[in-house]
Amino acid sequence: MEMEASMAGRLQIDSGVAGGLASVPEAARVLEHRGFDGCWAGETNHDPFLALTLAAEHTSRIELGTNIAVAFARNPMSVANLAWDLQAFSQGRFNLGLGTQVKPHIEKRFGMPWSEPTERLREFVEAVRAIWTSWHEGTRLRFEGRFYTHKIMTPMFTPDPSPHPMPRIFLAAVGERMTEMCGEVGDGLLTHPFTTRRFLEEVTTPTLQRGIGASGRDRSEFQLTSPVFVVTGETEEDLAEAAATTRRRIAFYGSTPAYRKVLEVHGWDDLQGRLHELSLRGDWTAMGELITDDILSTFAVVAPVDRVAAGLTERCVGVVDRVIPALPENLSGEARVRIVDDLRAAAIREPA
């Protein structure tokens, strides 16, 4: 069964908010003013929940979400509390995006246990929903799993009732087992930027459909969200700089064994090993030089500002529901507004 994107009339256009907390209010206001549909905060060198609290305070329409919060660095109860409060504070605009991170970071950076990531994340989601159901319906909390147990919930620790629905849960996935599980228990999938339309069509979407089918739901109840590298600029120099930066990013991700299958789909099997060897030597410049124009244009939309929307539309419409264009940092506000406006107009004209 062919899987089509669930968008109702148009592709939703999202962006990220990054940096220190002092910059978040203005950044979120700007995204909302420019017409973006969603604002995502990631967990790298800052906490995403704190950033989105500020974003919620200074916006009124735009959706807010974590992309991603590291699930295994926390526990289901603490995440359930954070998400419940943000859903209430944002008046129903919050999406909880969770990911596993990788074993070395979980064990050596966060000091937390790692095992069976797919099944552990599945149970994490089930536990969070069980906690929310207890709060929402006033029922007794009795969750007992292999990894998590939650059986105590007294009135003192129960949040105030909320008029809003439970937050949607988006899960990050690359491998097929995690992707299928995401279709079974998630409300949306957050893809990695190191992906292509062909990989989405041939690998991700059929796998996701198996999971959605197993859950007894329809594709229209699910959202696939994808970041996309964009190489553009308002001058030839800006475009060349954006291309060089993106080549290095593609090379960095391509050196990771977990992403080898994306390269294999395109017949670039040997590239991952060569990139990995160079990464061990710290030769980042040489890594970027291995990313040819063909590879660059496969992983990124490469176009002048007035053609970016057409490129994003060609890459996304009919496959994903939400796109996060990774625009160059030095792109002007006017150029960003034009791309968003053009993309919205182009996506609306395309059949859903």
Is residue 55 within 8 A of residue 17, CB to CB? The reply is yes
Task: Give the model confidence (pLDDT) of 245-292 as tens digits.
Answer: 999 999 999 998 888 999 999 999 899 999 999 999 999 999 999 999
230 forms beta bridges with 301
Give yes or no for a cis peptide into 250 (omega within 30° of 0): no
On the 0-12 / 13-18 / 19+ scale of CB atoms within 10 A, 153 is middle
Distance from chain centroid for Cα 260: 19
Task: Give the model confidence (pLDDT) of 123-149 as tens digits.
Answer: 999 999 999 999 999 999 999 999 999
φ and ψ at 110, to 5 degrees?
A: -95, -15
The CA-based dihedral angle spanning residues 66, 42, 98, 228, taken in that order and rounded to the nearest 10 degrees = 100
How many Å apart are CA 220 and CA 330, to the nearest integer?
A: 36
Closest alpha carbon to 84 in 134, 12, 39: 134
- In the chain the beta strands, taken as DSSP E runs, fall at 12-16, 38-41, 63-66, 69-70, 94-99, 143-144, 149-150, 168-172, 188-190, 223-231, 300-302, 322-326
**Residue 201 carries which side chain, given as an amino acid letter?**
E
Note the pLDDT of residue 352. Answer: 40
How does pLDDT run along the chain (352 residues), one tens digit per residue?
Answer: 344 555 444 789 999 998 899 999 999 999 999 889 999 999 999 999 999 999 999 999 999 999 999 999 999 999 999 999 999 999 999 999 999 998 999 999 999 999 999 999 999 999 999 999 999 999 999 999 999 999 999 999 999 989 999 999 999 998 999 999 999 999 999 999 999 999 999 999 999 999 999 999 999 999 999 999 999 999 999 999 999 999 999 999 999 888 899 999 999 989 999 999 999 999 999 999 999 999 999 999 999 999 999 999 999 989 999 999 999 988 998 999 999 999 888 865 544 4
Note the pLDDT of residue 19. Answer: 84
- For the chain, give me the number of helices (H) and strands (E)? 15, 12
Domains, in order of start, for the chain: 12-234+308-347 (3.20.20.30)
Instruction: Tell me the three state secondary structure of residue 9.
Output: coil
Note the pLDDT of residue 312. Answer: 95
How many Å apart are CA 348 and CA 100, to the nearest integer?
A: 34
